[in-house]
Amino acid sequence: MSDKSKTREQILDAAMNRIKHYGYGKTTMSEIARDCDMSAGNIYRFFASKLDIAEAMARKFNSDLYQTYSEISRSDAPPAQRLRQVFHYGLDQTFDAIEREAKILEVAEVLGEERPLFMNEGLAQERIYLCTILEDGIERGDFAPIADCNYTAEMIQSALMKYRFPQLFSRLTLPKLRRELNGVLDIIIAGLAKGIEKTPETEH
Amino acid sequence: MSDKSKTREQILDAAMNRIKHYGYGKTTMSEIARDCDMSAGNIYRFFASKLDIAEAMARKFNSDLYQTYSEISRSDAPPAQRLRQVFHYGLDQTFDAIEREAKILEVAEVLGEERPLFMNEGLAQERIYLCTILEDGIERGDFAPIADCNYTAEMIQSALMKYRFPQLFSRLTLPKLRRELNGVLDIIIAGLAKGIEKTPETEH
DNA sequence: CCGCTGAAGAATTTATTGATCATTCAGGCG
DNA sequence: CGCCTGAATGATCAATAAATTCTTCAGCGG
Whole-number pLDDT of residue B200: 57
Whole-number pLDDT of residue A201: 53
Tens-digit pLDDT profile for residues A155-173: 999 999 999 989 888 889 9
* pLDDT tens digits in sequence order for chain B, 204 residues long: 567 788 999 999 999 999 999 999 999 999 999 999 999 999 999 999 999 999 999 999 999 999 999 999 999 999 999 999 999 999 999 999 999 999 999 999 999 999 999 999 999 999 999 999 999 999 999 999 999 999 999 999 999 999 998 988 889 999 999 999 999 999 999 999 988 887 755 444
Domains of chain B: residue spans and CATH: 1-47 (1.10.10.60), 50-194 (1.10.357.10)
Q: How many CB atoms lie within 10 A of CB A28?
A: 13
Nucleotide nearest to A52 (CA to C1'): C22
- B6 in contact with nucleic chain C (CB within 7 A): no
Angle separating helix axes B2-22 and B50-74, nearest 10 degrees: 100
**Phi-psi map region of B49: left, alpha, beta (phi>0 left; psi -120 to 50 alpha):** beta
- Per the structure, the residues numbered 180 to 199 in protein chain B that have their CB within 7 angstroms of any atom of strand D are none
Q: Per the CB < 8 Å rule, is A186 touching B196?
A: yes
Q: Does the beta carbon of A169 lie under 8 angstroms from any beta carbon of chain B?
A: yes
User: Which residues in B lie closer than 8 A to residue A184 (C-beta atoms)?
Assistant: 155, 158-159
Whole-number pLDDT of residue A2: 65
Tens-digit pLDDT profile for residues B5-43: 889 999 999 999 999 999 999 999 999 999 999 999 999
Residues B13 and A22: their CA atoms lie apart, in Å, by 46
Regions of chain A where pLDDT drops below 50: 202-204
Whole-number pLDDT of residue B2: 63
Contact predicate B7/B42, CB 8 Å: no
Q: Does the beta carbon of B112 lie under 8 angstroms from any beta carbon of chain A?
A: no
Q: Which residues are CB-neighbours of B81 under 8 A, at least 6 positions away?
A: A199, A202
Whole-number pLDDT of residue B89: 98
- B49 in contact with nucleic chain D (CB within 7 A): yes
pTM for the whole structure: 0.93
Å from the B6 CA to the D19 C1': 34
Whole-number pLDDT of residue B47: 95
Whole-number pLDDT of residue B198: 77
Nearest residue to D4, CA vs C1'? Answer: A42
Residues B200 and A137: their CA atoms lie apart, in Å, by 20
